[in-house]
């Protein structure tokens, strides 16, 4: 890469001219600001004191030395202490020729024998269907997995299903009380939707009981604990942990309904997992670790029998690990799951994709694992992300005010269909091809809109804005890709152009050069995005690349180019851009259609 060459040449010039010994990778190379001439800039102020010359003199001497040795540079200019290098067109043309035909440009190969990075995402509860919040979690987890794999990391994608606990018992109890034996088959509802219906039903009746108790003079907090439904749900959880057959059979039946529903939704979203863990299989291991902590003296038991970890010396508070009745909490099973996952994979890193409301939880998890003596505790990393909000506020599953994932995808597919029909450019496609196109556009719009936002930020989801064919959207990029593929197909079929043909030197205009420079930047963008765990960097780069291509396309009559050699170059450049867009969208989990 030209950047490495410039860094090495500057390092050598500093040593030869001024005796300054600095490694090439320590030379900070920046992209030249648009208002100045040049491609890459070196700030020379850090070297002025040792060189004992003015910034302008140092910059001019280094620039002359470097340009005298690097034929890939066509010149330099100095503005105060800023040394701007201009890369020659011959380098950009040679670079484009070097990546032409490389279908994996920008993606590194994975060595499956490397210690894996284990990424947990999704982690649904089996008391409700997946909703918009889950969508951001799944899409972020999947995309970060793809991003790390694109950087050569051996990634294992895992899911921890929260299939036990008081919230599960709430749905079970409500179904027993109010369900009249209905099933997904008898109602025609997806199983996860049916179970979610009874989670909402529990909350409705529970609130009514609280209100009735408060009207009798019971304080609100006490009423929440004494409400008959809550008492019975707690008893059900205890019976579950004791292995009660009747409760376990009901639990397995209702969970199976939910799993079948989840599988349908995962397939729609295009996400999958290498391994699925279930809390019902890990919480007992967590209890064993709690006993180990008691034996080591890093945990303590209160008079009521509950078990805690005192974290006040770490600036935190005391953390509950077992309730007084012996039932476990989330932290209990997370300890067990972390140990099981470490034993399964001997991972280089354990990444948890979980919302930022759980920042404290994962801080505590890491500390407790360390106190239990696990030297791999520092491999735990919480990839914290912001919540998804709607124009009318936050979603609440208990109250049924959520945006259901299945309904959202279906509505976006309908919107995609309407927009395609309005454009009237798909009359030659079969019904099956059209349905596939609508699905690709809908998922592309949804995924891109969510992933283009920095993961750490809370985002406002606007379905109508996401599926626009103009602006910073998935469909705009997908349409750009389809347009490019159409150009390439016509060049081959109508012009008889050989995509593998060698073209002689051509003269670049500014917009062609801009596109090639962006392609040159692409691998470093993928690397930087992986370091930041930020698919947003990939998304927004891809949008800028699509914009740069469209600007070039508007000014360049590619298929009417009279110079055959230049047409070969232009079509090859189109092909390279399409590969780059496809690979970057692949990292985001987005398909690109060959035709639109």
Q: 118-164: per-residue pLDDT in tens?
A: 999 999 999 999 988 899 999 999 999 999 999 999 999 999 999 98
Tell me the average pLDDT of the chain. 93
Adjacent-strand bridge partners of 30: 41
**pLDDT at position 468, please?**
82
Name every residue whose Cβ is closer than 8 Å to that of residue 98 and which is 6 or more positions away in sequence: none
Say what percent of the chain tops pLDDT 70.
Answer: 98
Centre a 10 Å sphere on the Cβ of residue 180 and count the other Cβ atoms it contains: 7
> What H or E segment, with its residue span, contains residue 318?
strand 318-322
pLDDT of residue 394: 47
400 and 200 in contact (C-beta within 8 Å)? yes
Residue 394 lies in a domain: no
Hey, is 363 helix, strand or coil? helix
Q: pLDDT tens digits, residue range 302-330?
A: 999 999 999 999 999 999 999 998 888 88
Among 40, 72, 87, the domain-final residue is 87
Q: Is residue 381 part of a domain?
A: yes
Q: Is the pLDDT of residue 395 over 60?
A: no
| Nearest alpha-carbon partner for 380 in 393, 367, 371 | 367
How big, in percent rounded to 5, are the helix, strand and coil portions of the chain? 60, 10, 30
Report the relative pairing of strands 459-460 and 388-389 from DSSP bridges: parallel
Q: How far is CA 105 from the centre of its chain?
A: 20
Residue 467 predicted with pLDDT over 90: no
* Residue 399: per-residue pLDDT: 46
The residue-averaged pLDDT of 390-415 equals: 71
Tell me: pLDDT of 260 over 50.
yes
Phi, then psi, of 137 in degrees rounded to 5: -60, -50
State pLDDT tens for residues 45-67: 999 999 999 999 999 999 999 99
Regarding whether 463 and 355 lie in a shared domain, the answer is no
Calpha distance 41→36 (Å, rounded): 10
Same domain? 157 vs 277: yes
Task: Identify whether residues 46 and 143 lie together within a single domain.
Answer: no
Residue 593 within any structural domain of the chain: no
Lowest mean pLDDT among 21-30, 236-245, 391-400: 391-400
The secondary element (H helix, E strand) that includes residue 79 is strand 73-79
- Give the N- to C-terminal CA distance of the chain in Å, as an integer: 36
CATH of the domain at 325: 3.40.50.620
> Residue range 70-97: average pLDDT?
95
Residue 427's pLDDT band (boundaries 50, 70, 90)? confident
% of the chain at pLDDT higher than 90: 84
Domain CATH code at residue 22: 3.30.1360.70
Which two tokens mark 329?
């909490």
80/155 same-domain check:
no
Determine the Cα–Cα distance for residues 423 and 418; give it in Å rounded to an integer: 9
Q: Whose CA is closest to 485, among 388, 369, 592, 329? A: 592
Domain identity same for 475 and 380: no
The gap from C-alpha 396 to its chain's centroid, in whole angstroms, comes to 23
Asked whether the beta carbons of 324 and 306 are under 8 A apart, the reply is: yes
CATH number at residue 548: 1.10.730.10
Give the chain's domain count.
3
Instruction: Quote the tokens at residue 392.
Output: 């009318």
Mean pLDDT of 579-592: 98
Query: Does some domain include residue 423?
Result: no
Residue 53: exposed, middle, or buried by beta-carbon count in 10 A (0-12, 13-18, 19+)? middle
Q: Say whether pLDDT at 502 is over 90.
A: no
Say if CB 41 and CB 63 are below 8 A apart.
no
Q: Which of 341, 361, 389 is the last residue of a domain?
A: 389
Q: Are residues 191 and 254 in the same domain?
A: yes
Distance CA 413, CA 426 (A): 15
Residue 150 lies in a domain: yes
Same-domain check for residues 39 and 174 = no
In terms of domains, do 343 and 454 share one? no
Reported as type and span, the H/E element at residue 87 is strand 82-87
Q: Among 389, 409, 431, give the residue marking a domain's end.
A: 389
- Same-domain check for residues 83 and 126: no
pLDDT of residue 401: 54
Three-state DSSP class for 353?
A: strand
Please spell the DSSP secondary structure of 554-571, one letter per residue: HH--GGG-S-HHHHHHHH
The pTM score is 0.91
Residue-range definition of the domain harbouring residue 151: 121-389
CB atoms closer than 10 angstroms to residue 252 = 11
Q: Is 596 helix (H, G, I), strand (E, B) or coil?
A: coil
Give the C-alpha separation, 568 to 501, whole Å. Answer: 7
Q: Are residues 465 and 576 in the same domain?
A: yes
Query: 506 and 542 in contact (C-beta within 8 Å)?
Result: no
Residue of 515, 491, 484 whose CA lies nearest to 595: 484
**Assign residue 594 a region: left if phi > 0, alpha if psi is -120 to 50, beta otherwise?**
alpha
Instruction: Give residues with Cβ within 8 angstroms of 53, minimum separation 6.
Output: 61
Q: Packing angle between helix 431-451 and helix 405-423, nearest 10 degrees?
A: 120
Residue 419 lies in a domain: no
Query: How remote is the C-alpha of 287 from its chain's centroid?
Result: 32
| Assigned domain for 424 exists | no
Q: Are residues 285 and 153 in the same domain?
A: yes
354 and 461 belong to one structural domain: no
436-465 residues labelled b (16+ CB within 10 A) or e (exposed): ebbbbbbbbbbbbbbbbbebeeebebebee
Per the structure block, which two tokens stand in for 397? 């599953």
pLDDT per position as a tens digit, 159-217: 999 998 899 999 999 999 999 999 999 999 999 999 999 999 999 999 999 999 999 99
CB-based contacts of 426: which residues, under 8 Å, 6+ apart?
A: 420, 434, 437, 595, 596
Structure tokens at 494: 């109508």
Rounded to whole angstroms, what are the CA distances from 24 to 27, 31, 32, 69, 87?
Answer: 5, 17, 19, 16, 18
Q: In the prediction, which pLDDT does 391 show?
A: 67
Angle of CA points 30, 32, 37, to nearest 5° = 155
pLDDT number for residue 345 = 96
In a domain, 489, yes or no: yes
In whole angstroms, give the CA distance from residue 579 to residue 102. Answer: 8
- Residue 429's pLDDT band (cuts 50, 70, 90): confident
């Amino acid at each position: 890469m030209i950047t490495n060459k410039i860094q090495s040449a500057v390092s050598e010039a500093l040593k030869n001219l001024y005796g300054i010994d600095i490694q090439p990778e320590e030379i900070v190379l920046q992209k030249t600001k648009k208002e100045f001439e040049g491609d890459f800039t070196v700030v020379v102020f850090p070297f002025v004191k040792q060189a004992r010359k003015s910034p302008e003199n140092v910059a001019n001497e280094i620039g002359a030395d470097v340009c005298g040795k690097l034929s890939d540079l066509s010149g330099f200019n100095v503005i105060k202490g800023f040394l701007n290098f201009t890369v020659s067109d011959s380098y950009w043309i040679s670079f484009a020729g070097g990546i032409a035909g490389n279908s994996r440009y920008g993606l590194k190969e994975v060595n499956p024998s490397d210690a894996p990075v284990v990424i947990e995402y999704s982690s649904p509860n089996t008391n409700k269907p997946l909703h918009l919040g889950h969508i951001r979690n799944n899409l972020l987890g999947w995309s970060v997995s793809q991003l790390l794999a694109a950087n050569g990391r051996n990634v294992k994608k895992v899911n921890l299903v929260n299939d036990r606990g008081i919230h599960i018992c709430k749905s079970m109890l409500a179904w027993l009380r109010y369900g009249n034996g209905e099933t997904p088959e008898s109602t025609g509802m997806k199983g996860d939707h049916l179970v979610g219906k009874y989670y909402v039903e529990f909350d409705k009746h529970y609130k009514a009981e609280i209100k009735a108790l408060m009207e009798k003079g019971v304080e609100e907090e006490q009423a929440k604990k004494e409400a008959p439904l809550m008492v019975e749900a707690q008893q059900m959880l205890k019976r579950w942990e004791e292995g009660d057959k009747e409760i376990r059979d009901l639990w397995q039946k209702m969970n199976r309904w939910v799993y079948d529903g989840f599988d349908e939704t995962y397939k729609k979203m295009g996400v999958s997992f290498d391994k699925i863990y279930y809390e019902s299989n890990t919480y007992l291991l967590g209890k064993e670790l709690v006993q180990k902590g008691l034996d080591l003296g890093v945990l303590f038991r209160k008079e009521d029998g509950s078990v805690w970890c005192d974290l006040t010396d770490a600036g935190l508070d005391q953390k509950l690990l077992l309730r007084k009745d012996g039932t476990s909490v989330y932290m209990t099973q997370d300890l067990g799951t972390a140990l099981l996952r470490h034993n399964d994979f001997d991972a280089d890193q354990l990444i948890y994709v979980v919302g930022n409301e759980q920042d404290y939880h994962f801080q505590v998890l890491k500390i407790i694992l360390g106190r239990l003596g696990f030297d791999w505790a520092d491999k735990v990393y919480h990839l914290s992300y912001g919540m998804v909000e709607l124009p009318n506020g936050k979603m609440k599953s208990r109250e049924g005010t959520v945006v259901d994932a299945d309904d959202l995808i279906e509505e976006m597919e309908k919107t995609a269909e309407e927009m395609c029909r309005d454009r009237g450019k798909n009359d030659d496609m079969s019904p099956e091809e059209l349905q596939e196109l609508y699905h690709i556009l809908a998922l592309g719009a949804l995924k891109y809109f969510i992933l283009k936002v920095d993961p750490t930020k809370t985002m406002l989801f606007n379905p109508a804005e996401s599926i626009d064919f103009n602006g910073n959207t998935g469909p705009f990029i997908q349409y750009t890709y389809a347009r490019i593929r159409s150009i390439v197909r016509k060049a081959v079929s109508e012009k008889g152009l050989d995509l593998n043909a060698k073209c002689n030197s051509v003269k670049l205009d500014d917009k062609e050069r801009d596109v090639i420079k962006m392609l040159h930047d692409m691998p470093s963008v993928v690397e930087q995005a992986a370091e930041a765990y930020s698919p947003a960097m990939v998304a927004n780069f891809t949008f800028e690349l699509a914009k740069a291509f469209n600007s070039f396309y508007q000014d360049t009559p590619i298929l009417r180019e009279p110079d055959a050699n230049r047409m070969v170059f232009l079509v090859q450049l189109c092909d390279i851009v399409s590969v780059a867009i496809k690979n970057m969208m692949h990292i985001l989990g987005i398909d690109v259609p060959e035709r639109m």
